[in-house]
């Protein structure tokens, strides 16, 4: 049996303040650090061990991975970072409070920006200091590929080459992989793995730092997927993520 564990980062400072984050490189909150350590403990107690891990270029995911590997006593394993696993780029919404945005533009519009398949928020202007083309960490990425905003569809289009060329083929020679990324980049991967329709994907929300396990047979067909943890707690935390775009949470 082969396994890929998908893990959303622990709570970030902007998750705590309920702000659209996207490619903004915010740190984990104190609660996020605790959540990340707990995810590592949960994986260890369930007998998980990893041969290789990958994550995004954003510190909330990188640090979550570090805490998880520390709890597993596996800080030594190879880790690959890629911009392709970054969160969906939220364009000009980045930094805005989600409830206040819902009060201004309506909950339906905010839901469309957050969870529709192919509608992106307005793009950052070329001169905006948040334009990724001005960030040295993306210097090796062709400018044409750097987003100024993204729909889920756009995010999937840049995640998938990495999934198909690097992550998934690694399963042919390794049995246990860990991917620590973000709510929407992971929703894109899950959509692909579980063949979720463009419409139904709007109902999928991921709680922070809950390991989501995918098991494959030796021919790499998906046989089983499940969250690790208390189902009732996971349900409540998932519902809370869905409600972040409401005027009052």
Residues marked as binding for substrate? 8-15, 21-22, 60, 87-90, 98, 114-115, 183-184
Residue numbers 173-202 binding ligand 2PG by CB under 6 A: 183-184
Q: Is 87 in the site for ligand 2PG (CB under 6 A)?
A: yes
Number of residues that bind ligand 2PG (CB under 6 A): 11
Task: State the catalytic residue, choosing from 9, 35, 74, 182.
Answer: 9
Angstrom CA distances, 154 to 10, 52, 76, 146, 184, stand at: 24, 27, 33, 11, 11
Pair 86, 94: CB distance under 8 Å? no
Q: Does 21 participate in binding ligand 2PG (rule CB under 6 A)?
A: yes
Instruction: Establish if 207 lies at the interface with ligand 2PG (CB under 6 A).
Output: no
Determine the Cα angle at 28 with ends 53 and 90, to 5°.
85
Tell me, residue by residue from 23 to 62, as one string, x for binding to ligand 2PG by CB under 6 A and - for no binding: ----------------------------------------
Cβ pair 211, 64 in contact under 8 A: no
Out of 35, 74, 87, 150, pick the active-site residue: 87
**Cα 90 from Cα 108, distance rounded (Å):** 17
Contacts of ligand 2PG in 114-133 (CB under 6 A): 114
Calpha distance 131→124 (Å, rounded) = 6
DSSP 3-state assignment of 147? coil
Q: Is 9 a catalytic residue?
A: yes
| Contact flag: residue 90 with ligand 2PG (CB under 6 A) | yes
In residues, how long is the chain? 249
Contact footprint for ligand 2PG (CB under 6 A): 15, 20-22, 87, 90, 114, 183-184, 241, 244
């Amino acid at each position: 049996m082969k396994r890929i564990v998908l893990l959303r980062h622990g709570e970030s400072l902007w998750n705590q303040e309920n702000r659209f984050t996207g490619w903004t490189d915010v740190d984990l909150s104190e609660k996020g650090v605790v959540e990340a350590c707990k995810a590592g403990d949960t994986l260890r107690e369930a007998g998980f061990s990893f041969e290789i891990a990958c994550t995004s270029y954003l510190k909330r995911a990188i640090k979550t991975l570090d805490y998880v590997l520390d709890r597993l006593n596996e800080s030594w394993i190879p880790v690959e970072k890629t911009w392709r696993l970054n969160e969906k780029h939220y364009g000009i919404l980045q930094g805005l409070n989600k409830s206040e945005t819902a009060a201004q533009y309506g909950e339906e519009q905010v839901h469309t920006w957050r969870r529709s398949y192919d509608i992106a928020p307005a793009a950052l202007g070329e001169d905006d200091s948040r334009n990724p083309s001005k960030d040295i960490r993306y210097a090796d990425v062709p400018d044409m590929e750097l987003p100024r905003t993204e729909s889920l569809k756009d995010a999937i289009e840049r995640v998938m080459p990495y999934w198909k060329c690097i992550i998934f083929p690694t399963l042919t020679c390794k049995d246990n992989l860990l991917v620590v990324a973000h709510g929407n980049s992971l929703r894109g991967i899950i959509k692909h793995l579980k063949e979720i329709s463009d419409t139904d994907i709007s109902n999928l929300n991921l709680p922070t730092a809950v390991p989501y396990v995918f098991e494959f047979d030796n021919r790499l067909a998906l046989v089983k997927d499940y969250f690790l943890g208390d189902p009732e707690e996971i349900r409540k935390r998932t519902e809370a993520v869905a409600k972040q775009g409401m005027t009052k949470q």
